[in-house]
Amino acid sequence: MIVFRMGGGLFGADLAQIREVLERELPSTWVPKAPPFVKGAAAYHGRTILLVDLLAFLHLPAQETEAVILLDFSESDIGLCVGKVLGIVDMTGGDIKETVRKGDKDTGVYVDRFVLWKDKVVGLLNIEKLLTDLDGYFQMKGR
C-alpha cells in the first residue's frame, strides 16, 4: 500500500488501484460548474486527468497538497490530490502490526480498516467505493 499524510492523519491505498504517484502538483485548468472538491483538469502524458481534492471530498479541513495519486479505474482518469507521500508499505511483511476491520454499519465511510504502521494508525481507503460515488455524483449532475 501507499501511505500518505492528509488532514492531520495518515491514510493508505492499495497499490493495485494506483497507476502512478506524482510527488508534485499538476498545473490545472478550472472546470466550470464543478463541485468544490474538483481542483481542475490537467494534461498528463496525453491524457486529461480530473484532479479531486480528497480532503474536500471527505469534508476534512483544507491543507496544502503535495502529491497526486493517479488511479487505475476503468475509463476514468482521476488524480487524487493528497498531502505528503510517506512511502510504500509491504502489507504482507512485518511492516504492519495489526489490522482492525470496521463493522458493516460503517459501509458508508471510505475507510475500510485501520492498521498499525510504525506505531501510527493508518486508515486504508476504499478507493473503489470512493470512485463509484464520484462517478455517481457526476452522472447525477449530468442529467
- Between 110 and 53, the higher pLDDT residue: 53
> Tell me, what's the pLDDT at 106?
39
Residue reference for cell 481542475? 40
- Between 104 and 87, the higher pLDDT residue: 87
- The pTM for the full model equals 0.83
Q: Where are the alpha helices (DSSP H) in the chain?
A: 54-57, 127-142
pLDDT band at 143, cuts 50/70/90? very low
How far apart CA 41 and CA 126 sit, in angstroms, is 23
Q: Are the C-beta atoms of 29 and 86 separated by less than 8 Å? A: no
Task: Give residue-wise pLDDT tens across range 42-90.
Answer: 999 988 899 999 988 888 887 888 999 998 766 668 999 999 999 988 8
Task: Give residue-wise pLDDT tens across range 7-46.
Answer: 888 999 989 889 999 988 888 999 898 888 999 999 999 8
